[in-house]
Amino acid sequence: MKVERRRLAELTTLGVGGTAEVWTVETPADLLEATRAPYRVLGNGSNLLVSDRGVPERVVRLGGVFRRARLGKPRRGERVHLTPWVGAGALLPALVQEAARLGLSGLEPLLGIPASVGGAVRMNAGTRFGEIGEALEAVELFHEGTFRVLDPTELDLGYRSSRLPPGAIVTRVRFRLTPAPAEAIEARMAEVDAARKSQPKRKSAGCAFKNPPGDSAGRLIDVAGLKGLREGSAMISLEHGNFIVNTGGARAEEVWRLVKRVQEELPLELEWEVWGELP
């Protein structure tokens, strides 16, 4: 296990945030030790706005056995493929590609989401083509010092939401996938990819706000004329209104001011999770 003081700006996709004591756990014994004091769990840091002052709690990252990920080859004639246990620290983009290579369908809607498996379960990450919850067979949690396996229905997965017990860490999942022809999987992936074309390539944490029922937060921000608005090095993307981008060296305070500016004009709910104190 590695314990080191790190800048969370380096461990988040937005590239913002002060320091914390980061505990990278490699075994169940490490996990037990790391969670003996107040902690937060960090996945791939792709849905987080972290305070410039960092966080006082331990930040637990899944490494070692928790990153092991094999989907298993589909057997001839198999109609439903249940994968082996996949570590929650594994990265979704690699799994989406691995599934396509093996001829397994079910993860295509998640193409382009830069999440860890655990973070994707916590957020029920997805696109309009589908969510991770639809592909889950079982979820293993570490909670109050013990491991237990849950049926995904017990997590109450909704639109970018779940109900994990407080402090619970997703440690492994099994997926339920369907063997399918490579061309069909590739066609689905191309469709999902096309739907992301308007999203900026710059540093961001994905969509900042949830879509209100039947509408798009990005469209509303666009119509309100807020695209291109800047606070220091943070900017509401000109390409997609629901993305706040870090144009280089942005501070959490600046990003937060943009969030507030949007919320002064529109009743939008934040999709990001905020870590630490913000003004």
Where do contacts with ligand EPU occur on this chain (CB under 6 A)?
A: 127-128, 195-196, 198, 206-207, 210-211, 216-219, 222, 240-242, 271
Minimum distance from CB of 218 to ligand FAD (Å)?
A: 12
The 151-190 site mask, x for binding ligand FAD (CB under 6 A), equals ---------x---x----xx--------------------
252 lies in the binding site for ligand FAD (CB under 6 A): no
Buried b (16+ CB within 10 A) or exposed e, 18-30: bbbbbbbbbeeeb
Residue 253 interface partner, choices ligand FAD, ligand EPU, none, CB cut-off 5-8 Å depending on type: none
Please, what is the minimum distance in Å from the beta carbon of residue 267 to ligand FAD? 21
* Cβ 14 to ligand EPU shortest distance, Å: 12
> Of ligand FAD, ligand EPU, none, which one sits near residue 79, judging by CB under 5 to 8 A according to partner kind?
none
Using the rule CB under 6 A, is 136 a contact of ligand FAD? Answer: no
Assess 123 for contact with ligand FAD (CB under 6 A): yes
Q: How far is the CB of 53 from ligand FAD (least distance, A)?
A: 18
Catalytic residue (one of 160, 174, 251, 257) = 160
> Does the active-site annotation cover 67?
no
Mark whether 6 is an active-site residue. no
216 binds, among ligand FAD, ligand EPU, none (CB under 5 to 8 A by kind): ligand EPU
Among 15, 106, 152, 206, binds ligand FAD (CB under 6 A): 206
How would DSSP label each residue in the chain? -EEEEEEGGGGSSS----EEEEEEE-SHHHHHHHTTS-EEEESSSSSEEE-TT--SSEEEEE-GGGG-----PPPTT-SSEE---EETTSBHHHHHHHHHHHTEES-GGGTT---BHHHHHHHT-EETTEEGGGGEEEEEEEETTEEEEE-GGGG--BTTB--PPTT-EEEEEEEEEEE--HHHHHHHHHHHHHHTTTS--SB--SBSBPPPTTS-HHHHHHHTT-TT-EETTEEE-SS-TTBEEE-SS--HHHHHHHHHHHHHHS---B-SEEES---
- Say which entry of ligand EPU, ligand FAD, none residue 46 contacts (CB below 5 to 8 A, set by partner kind): ligand FAD
The whole-angstrom separation of Cα 200 and Cα 243 is: 7
Residue 130 CA to residue 237 CA, distance in Å, equals 25
* 99 lies in the binding site for ligand FAD (CB under 6 A): no
Active-site pick, 61, 188, 207, 257: 207
Instruction: Please count the other Cβ atoms lying within 10 Å of the Cβ belonging to residue 158.
Output: 11
Interacting residues with ligand FAD (CB under 6 A)? 13, 40-48, 62, 88, 113-116, 118-120, 122-123, 125-127, 160, 164, 169-170, 204-206, 273
* Residue positions annotated with a catalytic role: 160, 207
